[in-house]
A and B are shown apart, each in its own frame.
Chain A
Amino acid sequence: KQEVTQIPAALSVPEGENLVLNCSFTDSAIYNLQWFRQDPGKGLTSLLLIQSSQREQTSGRLNASLDKSSGRSTLYIAASQPGDSATYLCAVVYMDTGRRALTFGSGTRLQVQP
């Protein structure tokens, strides 16, 4: 079964810390991997998209890496701020024959303490 797992489920850090969120997927045959942010009561916002041929993507204080061979991705957040508090979701598009849908993990709920 093709799944996406995110660890930890929740994380609390003091403001200013650098942190890493982890994502693992069960099949290395993927089209791409995306990281999303979800704020309470709101929809999802795409943060970074990594195509299968890429190793990493960067946007501001965010850096996402992709290692298909080990089935892992990490989202690095530098110098965390209280405004970064949200749930972060990892999603993969698997190269199966029928579906091109995003398969999501359950997310990591991040709290940055001021």
Chain B
Amino acid sequence: EAGVAQSPRYKIIEKRQSVAFWCNPISGHATLYWYQQILGQGPKLLIQFQNNGVVDDSQLPKDRFSAERLKGVDSTLKIQPAKLEDSAVYLCASSLRRQVGHQETQYFGPGTRLLVL
């Protein structure tokens, strides 16, 4: 079974530029997550999709970050314009489904390492 795929693996941009990350979840997984992991910290959830609908984006900086999941499969996360503090690893994860009161294992991709200069 193929895992969660992410691209690019690394990206270096200058502040105020825009950048986009792509994620392909495990086939059949209805729930998709984007996390931001700053060096030395644990991952922080940015946005969660159930199929192609957003179920939680309370920690997404909506003035500069946007995400979509067309057709309930692949997803893209965009930052425009980027700031120095956006330097982090952006992790995508997927799980089979989301049930209230239960938690399925989330499977993580390798992440995209972003450096903003």
| A-side interface size class | 20 to 34
**Residues A32 and B108 in contact in the complex (CB < 8 Å), given A91-B42, A105-B42:** no
A49, B111: Cα distance in complex, Å: 22
The segment from A14-22, A54-62, A67-75, A96-104 found at the interface with B is A96-104
Q: Does A79 contact B (CB under 8 A)?
A: no
A107 neighbours in B (Cβ, 8 Å): 42
Min distance, Cβ A54 to any Cβ of chain B, angstroms: 12
A101, B49: Cα distance in complex, Å: 11
Contact across chains for A31 and B58 when beta carbons are under 8 A apart: no
Main DSSP-derived SS at the A contact region: strand
Q: Does B77 contact A (CB under 8 A)?
A: no
B40 neighbours in A (Cβ, 8 Å): 106
Contact across chains for A42 and B110 when beta carbons are under 8 A apart: yes
Query: How many B residues face the partner with a CB closer than 8 A?
Result: 27
Contact among B48, B55, B91, B103 with A43 in the assembled complex (CB-CB below 8 Å): B91
Min distance, Cβ A83 to any Cβ of chain B, angstroms: 19
Min distance, Cβ B50 to any Cβ of chain A, angstroms: 10
A102, B31: Cα distance in complex, Å: 13
Contact across chains for B42 and A31 when beta carbons are under 8 A apart: no
Closest to B109 in A: A43
Contact across chains for A93 and B108 when beta carbons are under 8 A apart: no
Min distance, Cβ A80 to any Cβ of chain B, angstroms: 22
Provide 13 A-B residue pairs closer than 8 Å at the C-beta atoms, listed in order of the A residue: A31-B101, A34-B105, A41-B110, A42-B110, A43-B110, A89-B43, A91-B42, A101-B33, A101-B45, A101-B56, A102-B45, A106-B40, A107-B42
- Residues of A bordering B, CB below 8 Å: 4, 31-32, 34, 41-46, 49, 51, 89, 91, 93, 98-102, 104-107
